[in-house]
Chains A and B, each alone.
Chain A
Amino acid sequence: MTISSVNQAQATTPRSRSWLWNWLGVLPFFAFVIAFLVLPSTSLFVGSFQNSAGEFTFENIRSLSEQNIVNAYWLSIRVSGVTAIAGGLLGFLLAYAITLGNTPTWVRSAMTTFSGVASNFAGVPLAFAFIATVGRTGFVTAILRDVTGFDLYRNGFNLYSFAGLTLTYMYFQFPLMVLIMTPALDGLKREWREASENLGATSVQYWRYIALPVLLPSILGTMILLFGNAFSAYATALALTGGRLNLVTILIGAQMRGDVLHNPNLGYALALGMVVIMAFSITLYTWLQRRTERWLR
């Protein structure tokens, strides 16, 4: 047989049968996503509006305003916000340096490779690396103390605190910014700069009126992505602070381990709150990304 039976079948089947056959091809994917992503998420959603007897209630959502829960959200938002802005700035400057900053090409390829590695080097090993570097007996701590006489830990720094966590998160935050901003900066057309210079614009004017407005959606969008990236991180924080720092993810983890809130449904509401914040950030990110694509391709 030289012509496949499938091919023949296609030529002869009525339109409705081929419609069914088309959907059959994507069925496993949708079934998988529903079973392992949609249903687990919706079960949390449902659970956060139920009390322990399974009756409908707003009590859990209302309890989210309890002081320790508000504190946890606020701490998570602060850590994510600070690392998104600081990581975004450092990442942008670095991306600028390797694209338009007159540095040799080998610097660019070394930096992008390193950024690819560092943005994926998160979790427990990252925490160990920072403990060995700026922990109490860490290598940088020791050098600062022995060479300059400056003791980090006597001057208010502590790796197992807000400052330490921020410093550690930066390790995977700014490389991600580098990875996303490098192509965006490449997208700035040389003609724009030349045209503005021909019209007598200074470098500052070029950046103020042309480059930054074009790049801004991309910069903000990526910073939002960094925010979400830090907001959902759990392993790094757990390995670094052992759960002493009350982030939302740590609180949810503690809730799953042993009922710290004495109410699993409140835990579901806590998770729902995270999903709402993440959904909001990703929506904003996609929207900004679309605006970027108008100019940068």
Chain B
Amino acid sequence: MKRSSFWGWLWVIVGALYFLLPLYGTLDFSLRAKRGELSLLAYERALTDPEFLRTFAFSFRMAVLTILVSILLIVPTAYWVHLRMRHLRPLVEFITLLPFVVPAIVLVFGTIKLYSRPVTLLGIPILPPLTNSTASTDILLIAGYTVLSLPYMYRAVDTGLRAIDVSTLTEAAQSLGANWVTILWRIILPNLRTALLSGALITFATVIGELTLATFLARPAFGPYLVLLGNHQAYEPSALAIISFALTWAAMGVIQYVTHGNTGRIAGGR
């Protein structure tokens, strides 16, 4: 039985136009920094701005640290839940959905309210206000990013763990004399390579241009710089938008390639 493909093509074309027109518009605009001719002047200016290099490097560093923290936090937890605490699985899954319930702007509002004064335990101060120094503010920023990336990272690791036989691998390793650190580092992590790579890339794509947390914690990140640039310049923002798109594209392309499209994840608007 053959059905007509007319409607199918129509919607594909509408979708493709929606995808491509803004990209073409931005690309076209970014090449017009010189009057009357196409040039890469806007890219040259945008990329050589020392502020760009500084903020991009900062966001890059934050992204790498966030990825490390979330891997350290989630892999052992998800492994342990798979192996020993199966009854906790619904609870952990529920918790990893919570960042969708608490929007970034609410999260940062609460974080600032809580950590801009001394942290007390039963009335005894145990930590000074964390927003007082740049180093401890960076800790808050990384913690916030880790929370935001929790749904993606956990889902990726969980999918990865389901695909391998965790308890057999663990028993085999134990019978050969491996301790827990060796098991996680040399057995579980290598088996999760694909899952971790896709979790890491989506975290990277989220953190690199993130605006909300960085703005309100007042750290010199790439997102706030972009907004500032958008207020003062015409062509450079378009050039950087194209570069951001290319980065997102590269990240998603690699994920698609390594997972063969089997990503059971949820994306998010910012």
Contacts and interface: CB of A to CB of B under 8 A. Distances in A.
Contacts of A180: 266
B202 interface: yes
B245 interface: yes
Interface string A239-274: 100100000010011001000000000011001001
A26 B270 contact: no
B47 to A, nearest CB: 15
Contacts of A228: 100
B77 A90 contact: no
B187 interface: no
Interface string A177-220: 01110000000000000000100000100000000000000000
Contacts of A103: 5, 8-9, 12
Contacts of B202: 120
Given A29-B73, A174-B18, A102 B106 contact: no
Contact of B269 (A113, A132, A232, A267): A232
A173 B267 CA distance: 10
B163 interface: no
A49 interface: no
A25 B85 contact: yes
A82 interface: no
A75 interface: no
B12 A252 contact: no
B88 A133 contact: no
A230 B237 CA distance: 23
Nearest to A1: B177
B248 A271 contact: no
Nearest to A127: B230
Contacts of A85: none
A243 B233 CA distance: 18
Given A1-B177, A4-B174, A113-B253, A39 B114 contact: yes
B147 A125 contact: no
Contacts of B209: 123-125
Interface string A101-144: 11100010101111011111111111111101110001110000
Choose among A5, A176, A235 the residue with the greatest number of B CB atoms under 10 Å from its CB: A235
Contact of B11 (A93, A230, A268, A278): A93
A88 interface: no
A24 to B, nearest CB: 9
A176 B266 CA distance: 8
A170 to B, nearest CB: 7
B211 A32 contact: no
Contact of A271 (B99, B110, B231): B110
B177 A133 contact: no
A281 to B, nearest CB: 8
A103 B8 CA distance: 6
Given A101-B7, A225-B266, A123 B241 contact: no
Contacts of B206: 120
B110 A43 contact: yes
Contact of B111 (A29, A33, A36): A36
Contact of A3 (B76, B177, B210, B266): B177
B143 A32 contact: yes
A278 B238 CA distance: 33
A254 B163 CA distance: 46
B110 A41 contact: yes
A125 B269 contact: no
Nearest to B103: A232
Interface of A: 1-7, 22, 25-26, 28-29, 32-33, 35-37, 39-41, 43-44, 47, 90, 93-94, 96-98, 100-103, 107, 109, 111-114, 116-130, 132-134, 138-140, 169-176, 178-180, 197, 203, 225, 228-236, 238-239, 242, 249, 252-253, 256, 267-268, 271, 274-275, 278-279, 282, 286
Top 3 nearest A-B pairs (CB, nearest first) are: A101-B8, A40-B110, A232-B103
19 contacts: A22-B84, A26-B80, A39-B114, A41-B102, A44-B109, A90-B14, A94-B15, A119-B269, A120-B202, A123-B211, A124-B226, A125-B240, A127-B230, A169-B269, A176-B267, A178-B15, A238-B227, A242-B231, A278-B100
